[in-house]
Amino acid sequence: MAVGIFDSGLGGLTVLDAVSKRLPDIPFVYFGDNAHTPYGVRDADDVYDLTTTGVAHLFDAGCDLVILACNTASAAALRRMQEQWVPEDKRVLGVFVPLIEALTERQWGDNSPPREVAVKHVALFATPATVRSRAFQRELAFRAIGVDVEAQPCGGVVDAIEDGDMILAEALVRSHVEALKRRMPTPEAAVLGCTHYPIMEEVFQDALGPDVTVYSQASLVADSLADYLDRHPDKLGAGAEARFLTTGDPKSVANKATQFLRRKIEFDPI
């Protein structure tokens, strides 16, 4: 009954932590493509090839449902995967939609026409690849009209977090927020469009100010997954044990993951 969680590196652990707490009886298989992180500087074809390879490993591990806990993969590869690659008996879901549903106050599966919403000015912080894809704006347009989105590509933040250099990560976050606010001085909401960024959520909030509502993905994805599995219990795969898989060095990745989750994690190599 395993569910797969895919990420380019360690950021997806923020989603894993939330979904594990929300659904404690389900074994999750985590795949981190640490050998190729970060995805945010890669082109769309490269992201697609790496993502399909990783998701195939999760299918082999007994997961019929995989969550792309990577905004770059969700933005650059998900639609193509769903249209061309995912087998009929499998499902691959992204992390954008739960966040946009929360932002626009729409229930899951609400397919009514897009309408005006309360929030008019949204700051999006994401990797360069996610910003280039405009996937967030595309998904938002299906649900809302009249929303001004200012996107800031946050180069270097993922690398700093993966390297454990939180001083550099904080400096980069503050620099990126300052750059965005020069173009959008008074955003009403800010979207952290990378699953690494919740680790720096307090820094984003402090730099943006108390009047800006910051939307982070982990808890929203957890609630959305619980709802999905209530309606599609057949998508619980045959896998029976929680596992952590990586394309990187298992010992090094495990040490960093243990710091992320503050509990001992062991990774198996791919």
**CATH number for the domain harbouring residue 173:** 3.40.50.1860
Check whether residue 103 and residue 201 sit in a common domain.
Answer: yes
Is residue 70 flagged as an active site residue?
yes
Question: Does residue 194 have an active-site annotation?
Answer: yes
pLDDT tens digits, residue range 81-136? 999 999 999 999 999 888 888 888 887 667 788 999 999 999 999 999 999 999 99
Co-location of 101 and 207 in the same domain:
yes
72 and 130 co-located in one domain: no
Percentage of residues in the chain having pLDDT higher than 70: 99
pLDDT (average), residues 252-256: 93
pLDDT the model gives residue 99? 86
Same domain, 80 and 19: yes
What's the pLDDT score for residue 108?
Answer: 62
Whether residues 248 and 198 share a domain: the answer is no
Which of 215, 237, 256 is the endpoint of a domain? 215
Place 164 in a pLDDT band, splitting at 50, 70 and 90: confident
Read off the pLDDT of residues 171-200 as tens digits, 9 standing for 90 and up: 999 999 999 999 999 999 999 999 999 989
Q: Considering 198, 215, 232, which residue would you say is the last residue of a domain? A: 215
State whether 149 and 66 are in the same domain.
no
HEC assignment per residue over the chain: CCEEEEECCCCCHHHHHHHHHHCCCCCEEEEECCCCCCCCCCCHHHHHHHHHHHHHHHHHCCCCEEEECCHHHHHHCHHHHHHHCCCCCCEEECCHHHHHHHHHCCCCCCCCCCEECCCCEEEEEECHHHHHHCHHHHHHHCCEECCEEEEEECCCHHHHHHCCCHHHHHHHHHHHHHHHHHHCCCCCEEEEECCCHHHHHHHHHHHHCCCCEEECCHHHHHHHHHHHHHHCHHHCCCCCCCEEEECCCHHHHHHHHHHHHCCCCCCEEC
Confidence of residue 33 (pLDDT cuts 50, 70, 90): very high
Does this model's pTM top 0.85?
yes
Mean pLDDT of the chain: 93
Are residue 103 and residue 199 in the same domain, yes or no?
yes
| Given 2, 50, 70, 225, the catalytic residue | 70
> Do 205 and 227 lie in a common domain?
no
Domain count for the chain = 2
What is the pLDDT, as a whole number, of residue 58? 97
102 and 169 in one domain?
Answer: yes
| pLDDT range class, residue 238, cuts 50, 70, 90 | confident
Q: How confident is the model at residue 25 (pLDDT cuts 50, 70, 90)?
A: very high
Whether residue 164 sits in one domain with residue 193: yes
Q: Which of 18-32, 176-190, 225-239 has the lowest mean pLDDT?
A: 225-239
Which residue range is the domain that position 172 belongs to?
97-215
Same domain, 82 and 124: no
Same domain, 144 and 254: no
Choosing from 215, 243, 258, the residue where a domain stops is 215
Bond from prior residue into 113 cis (ω within 30 degrees of 0): no
The catalytic residue among 5, 55, 103, 194 is 194
